[in-house]
Amino acid sequence: MVLIELLGKNGKKQVLKQAKTRKKKAPAKKNKQKPYPKAKQRTSKMAVTRAIRGSNSLHRDWAAVMNDPFNFPPVKLGLGCMVPSALYTFYYRGNLTVNADGSFSVIIIPRWETSTTGSVLTNVSGAGGVTYTFNNWANLANFQTGFGPGARTRVIGGGIRVMPSIPATAAPGELYCGNLPDTTLTNALMAPGSLAGNQYSHLGVATDGATVTTRPLDLDSFVFSIDNTATTNSITRWSVPYVAGLGLPVSTVVFYETVLHVEVIGDQSGTMTPSASDSVPNREELATQYGSSEGLFACAENYLDSAVKVTSRFTNFVQGAATLGHSIGGIAGLAGTYLQQRSRQGYNRMIRS
């Protein structure tokens, strides 16, 4: 406030109060939002990118089944199928006692077989022995009853996992795990020593067990086939998982579990199970996103883990070395990573090269 003195008519001073004027601020300018750009025209490339980033897309679900068929249910692939289909899961669980030399091997053939052959194969005839025991899937009879003897199937995923029961004070021995690609049943029946020495084997300590999952090989992997008519000379459409053990303690018991997920269409007589439903409810969307079975696998491949998982202490080292190939520098770097991990687990010394 400002005080002003004035002389009035009677000579007395008068004080007037005058309010201090303030300049009014100019109103703030409102920020005008820029208009959103026009949506781009949808292309097949954008659709595939969006499919890869999606959370519930078919290729992600399929990758989950291939990575861990023991905990994820099968899904219908849709592509390459023009009629209703159904899903089925084969399984087999068992145990074996290793040979006196501490060796064994377990192999699964990724198809369903009749009692003349079997799909789960075990061998305890020695490191150089090739005497295998053939086992049918535990629920094969239910499958044959529900779908008929001529049902056509294609594999969705599957695998084998083993857990040796080894005393903590004993030397554990080694596990050699891998996948045999493009092979026949006859060629797959190798001795444990031969499986351990082939180029596809990954090495691990037997204490913590191992898991191996099957993988598709080519476009024939997506074809429906009548597997019960296959012979020992038929080439497998998916890779053949195996686990071989050497040097395990005498009388060690090895527990194993196998699983195989398949998609099924009607048999030769036209019989269909009541549970079958349309395998391609969104045929146009699938064709836009993936184009073909090969395109579907290309998207799923981004989410695939290593097909071979051996003991937690060696997983990073073995899988990384397989990914990088036989690069000396790459393996040396992975060895350093492994040793650092061991150091974090309580080991106080570090080897440096």
The predicted-structure confidence for 223-264, as pLDDT tens digits, reads as follows 888 766 566 777 788 999 999 999 999 999 999 999 999 988
Q: Which of 28-37, 74-83, 220-229, 342-351 has the lowest mean pLDDT?
A: 342-351
Mean pLDDT in residue range 287-316: 78
Q: pLDDT tens digits, residue range 147-179?
A: 766 778 899 999 999 999 998 888 899 999 999
Percent of the chain whose pLDDT exceeds 70: 62
Residue 119 maps to a domain: yes
How many distinct structural domains can be found in the chain? Answer: 1
Q: Which residue has the higher pLDDT, 36 or 259?
A: 259
Residue 280 maps to a domain: yes
What string of DSSP letters covers 25-37?
A: PPPPPPPPPPPPP
Mean pLDDT in residue range 29-52: 51
Mean pLDDT in residue range 37-55: 45
Beta bridge partners of 85: 277
The label of the residue with tokens 């891998």 reads 178
Residue 26 maps to a domain: no
Range of the domain at 266: 58-312
**Which residue from 257, 255, 247 is spatially nearest to 165, judged by alpha carbons?**
255
Q: Is the pLDDT of residue 322 over 50?
A: no
Residue 322 maps to a domain: no
Q: Is the pTM value of this prediction over 0.85?
A: no
- At 270, which CATH number? 2.60.120.20
Please, what is the average pLDDT of the chain? 75
Q: What is the pLDDT of residue 279?
A: 55
Using alpha carbons, list the distances in angstroms from residue 114 to 31, 143, 315: 75, 11, 36
**What angle is formed at CA 145 by the lines to CA 140 and CA 149, rounded to 5 degrees?**
80
Q: Is the pLDDT of residue 315 over 60?
A: no
Q: Which residue has the higher pLDDT, 270 or 35?
A: 35
The SS3 assignment for 243 reads strand
Residue 48 maps to a domain: no
Q: Is the pLDDT of residue 184 over 70?
A: yes
Residue 6 maps to a domain: no
Residue 186 maps to a domain: yes
Residue 257 maps to a domain: yes
- Find how far residue 46's CA is from the centre of its chain: 25
